[in-house]
Every structure is written in C-alpha cells, then in structure tokens.
C-alpha cells in the first residue's frame, strides 16, 4: 500500500509518499516547506499569511513528493490529508486539494487527525508495539496520551493554560530572541547559570497530573522587568533557569505518569514516546531519558524531522487506518478543534491557542 500524505494545519506545508511493505513502513519521499521566514517578523504564526502560503506552495510540493518517490498516480492507493486540529485556512487548503485530487484520479482519500499522525509516528520509525505512553510537546499541545491501538487514545493529562512550545516562544519574545523561540532559548541557556533564578514549577509535587506554564511565564516577565536593561549574561541566566524549571516540571509529571501505570500493574506498557517540536530540546530529552531509565522504561524519540510537523506521519496514519476505517467523502469539513480523545473533557484555558500541534 502506497499513500500520498498532505499536511497544512499550521506553518509547515508538507507532502510525502509512504508505503507499507512486509517489514513495516518506508518513507519514499518527505517534502516540507517551513514558513518560519514568513512569520518571523510578527513573532508568531499569522493565520492569513499561513493559508496563502499553503495555497501557493502545496501543488509544487505534491509534485516534488511524487517525483522524489518515483510515483505516478497509478502507483498511489490512497491520499491522506490533515483535517484538524489546526488553523482553518490551512486545513481548508489541504482538504480541498485532497478532495480535488481524489475526484480527478478516483483514488480514495482519508481525513486524518494531525495528533494521530504524531501519536503513530514511532510505529513507522521504530516499529513500536501498542500500547505506549506519548508525551506530545509542541507549539499548540502539551499532552500525555495512552496510545492503546489505532483509533484508541486516552488523554491522561493536558495543559490548563499555555502549551510548552508557546511558553518557550513567549519567553524568547520577552527576551527579544528570535522566532521560533525554543531553539533560541535552548542556545542561550547553554551559557547561562540555571541556579541564578528560582522560577516556580507550577503544580509540581501535587496530585494534579495536568500542566500549567503561565505562572512560570509571569515569573520570567517579572524578573526581566526588574533587571532591565538586560545584559547578555542576564538573558542567558534567565533562559538556563527557565529551561531547568521546565525539565523539572516534565520530570515530575512523567514520574507521576509512569508510577500511575506501574502502580496499576499495567506492566505491559513500558515505552515513553516524546514527539512535537519541543522534543528537539536536548535538556528535555535527556531528562526524559533519565526518568524512563530510572523506572525500567525506554524512551523512544522519532528523528527530529519526523517529530516536527510533516506529511509522512499523515500518510502513515492512513496506512495504519486502512483496515476497518472507510475513506472520507466529499461532504467532509475540516475541524479546527479535533481532540484525539473525544471522551476527554475540555479543561478551562487548555489549548487556548489550540491551533498548533
């Protein structure tokens, strides 16, 4: 089975071809155009600019993905497109393109939940067996999800205010570092003193399993205001102290999650997967690796280009869904909000931005 994937939910335009062979999945092509340069001047993603950019780039990217994979339409069995969650203008561009291609070629198309793409990626990259625990940390989401099987996801925790990537981006903006902020904060943290500021670790040590980052963000702002004008050393120390607070929070939450499974004697679950753009952060990766090892779990981190937004994960999700899930019809409408676990109740303030995954 060979699938063309399309991803346009946020600020990456992407197309990819993935096939399922006897020994798992194989990526035949994986084309991504990042819009970072288009949005950098605004310090964040501008939905209107994103939608226009997707529109002008998507056709070319699909052609390139097909060429790179040495495929013609007769080689493609299905088209997979992100239908949510995300920015509605971008989602419409992708979904309309998938519908048009499907109508013109007769190839069925599947509407895919972007979060499901992230959730199933370790099965493509590592052949990981169900069930496993997923920590999704990106610009729009911060969630623990128990991935039980295809289509069966249980959200165990989420943020009650900002997403983790958003916290990095806002901190960077406050310190006049560039956009996106995560890599800049990580770089500045490398030369800073993580002990200089004792920033809060909201909810740590409490029974609460969810995340909160707004108190930390406020503390960073107050510190920056108090010290202004900031020297390079101040910026580095703030970044290092912020990053240490984040790794402490993640360590605390992850321990709690792992204990939850171990205490329930759910010993069949032994793998922690980290995905999303924030998973690029080396301090975070090594903290998670350490916690996992302490409990006899393993950390699985897909390669960076498959941790961040891409279309290979969307194509792969359709391959995983091929059995027992019918293709989508012409009536399908994209959903800017589309929780992975429809049973999980919404939390006040969670996913406020709710547009990036």
Q: How many CB atoms are located within 10 Å of the residue 126 CB?
A: 17
Which one, 25 or 351, has the nearer CB to ligand KG4?
351
Which one, 19 or 237, has the nearer CB to ligand KG4?
237
Contact 314, 80 (CB under 8 A): yes
- Return the structure tokens found at 13: 């335009």
- 183 is a site residue for ligand KG4 (CB under 6 A): yes
Look-up of token digits 């806002």: 170
Q: How many CB atoms are located within 10 Å of the residue 196 CB?
A: 16
Report how far residue 186's alpha carbon sits from residue 172's, in angstroms, rounded to the nearest whole number.
Answer: 10
- 80-139 residues near ligand KG4, rule: CB under 6 A: 138-139
Beta bridge partners of 112: 82
Residue 169, binding choice from ligand KG4, Zn ion, none, Cβ under 5 to 8 Å by partner class:
ligand KG4
- 270-309 residues near Zn ion, rule: CB under 5 A: 309
| 3-class secondary-structure state, position 4 | strand
Which residues does 51 contact at the CB level (< 8 Å), separation at least 6? 87, 89, 90, 92, 93
Contact 109, 326 (CB under 8 A): no
CB of 114 to Zn ion, least distance (A): 6
Which one, 116 or 309, has the nearer CB to Zn ion?
309
- 276 is a site residue for ligand KG4 (CB under 6 A): yes
Residue 278, binding choice from Zn ion, ligand KG4, none, Cβ under 5 to 8 Å by partner class:
ligand KG4
Residue 182, binding choice from Zn ion, ligand KG4, none, Cβ under 5 to 8 Å by partner class:
ligand KG4
Cα-flanking dihedrals φ and ψ of residue 249, to 5°?
Answer: -60, -45
Report how far residue 177's alpha carbon sits from residue 206's, in angstroms, rounded to the nearest whole number.
Answer: 33
Quick one: which segment of 76-84, 164-172, 319-327, 341-349 binds ligand KG4 (CB under 6 A)?
Answer: 164-172
Contact 273, 301 (CB under 8 A): yes
- 301-320 residues near ligand KG4, rule: CB under 6 A: 308-309
CB of 260 to ligand KG4, least distance (A): 25
Residue 181, binding choice from Zn ion, ligand KG4, none, Cβ under 5 to 8 Å by partner class:
ligand KG4
Judged by CB under 6 A, which of 159, 281, 310, 350 binds ligand KG4? Answer: 281
Judged by CB under 6 A, which of 120, 177, 188, 278 binds ligand KG4? Answer: 278
Report how far residue 350's alpha carbon sits from residue 357's, in angstroms, rounded to the nearest whole number.
Answer: 13
Which residues does 31 contact at the CB level (< 8 Å), separation at least 6? 14, 15, 16, 61, 64, 65, 68, 311
Judged by CB under 6 A, which of 280, 288, 299, 340 binds ligand KG4? Answer: 280
- Return the structure tokens found at 322: 């091929």
Residue 15, binding choice from Zn ion, ligand KG4, none, Cβ under 5 to 8 Å by partner class:
none
Quick one: which segment of 146-154, 206-214, 258-266, 271-279 binds ligand KG4 (CB under 6 A)?
Answer: 271-279
Interface residue list for Zn ion (CB under 5 A): 138, 309, 357
Interface residue list for ligand KG4 (CB under 6 A): 10, 138-140, 165, 168-169, 180-183, 186, 276-278, 280-281, 308-309, 356-357
């Amino acid at each position: 089975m060979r699938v063309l994937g399309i991803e346009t939910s946020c600020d990456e335009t992407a197309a990819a071809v993935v096939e399922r062979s006897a020994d798992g999945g194989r990526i035949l092509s994986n084309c991504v155009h990042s819009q970072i340069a288009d949005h950098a001047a605004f310090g964040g993603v501008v939905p209107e600019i994103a939608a226009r950019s997707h529109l002008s780039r998507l056709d070319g990217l699909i052609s390139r993905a097909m060429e790179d994979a040495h495929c013609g339409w007769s080689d493609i069995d299905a088209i997979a497109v992100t239908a949510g969650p995300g920015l509605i203008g971008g989602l419409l561009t992708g979904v309309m393109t998938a519908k048009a291609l499907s109508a013109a070629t007769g190839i069925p198309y599947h509407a895919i939940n972007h979060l499901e793409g992230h959730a199933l990626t370790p099965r493509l990259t590592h052949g990981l067996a169900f069930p496993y625990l997923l920590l999704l940390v990106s610009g729009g989401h911060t969630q623990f999800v128990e991935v039980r099987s295809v289509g069966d996801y249980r959200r165990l925790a989420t943020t009650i205010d900002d997403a983790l990537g958003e916290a990095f981006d806002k901190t960077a903006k406050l310190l006049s570092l560039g956009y996106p902020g995560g890599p800049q904060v990580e770089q500045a943290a490398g030369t800073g003193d993580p002990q200089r500021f004792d920033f809060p670790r909201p909810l740590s040590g409490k029974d609460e399993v969810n995340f909160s980052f707004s108190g930390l963000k406020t503390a960073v702002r107050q510190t920056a205001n108090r010290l202004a004008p900031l020297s390079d050393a101040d910026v580095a120390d703030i970044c290092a102290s912020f990053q240490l607070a984040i790794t402490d929070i993640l360590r605390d939450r992850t321990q709690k999650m792992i204990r939850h499974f171990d205490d329930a004697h759910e010993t069949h679950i032994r793998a922690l997967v980290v995905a999303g753009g924030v998973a690029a952060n080396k301090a975070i990766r090594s903290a998670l690796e350490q916690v996992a090892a302490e409990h006899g779990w393993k950390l699985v981190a897909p390669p960076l280009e498959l941790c961040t937004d891409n279309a290979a994960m969307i194509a792969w999700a359709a391959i995983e869904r091929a059995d027992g899930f019918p293709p989508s019809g012409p009536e399908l409408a994209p959903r800017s909000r589309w929780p992975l676990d429809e049973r999980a109740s919404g939390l006040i303030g969670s996913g406020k931005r709710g547009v990036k995954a």
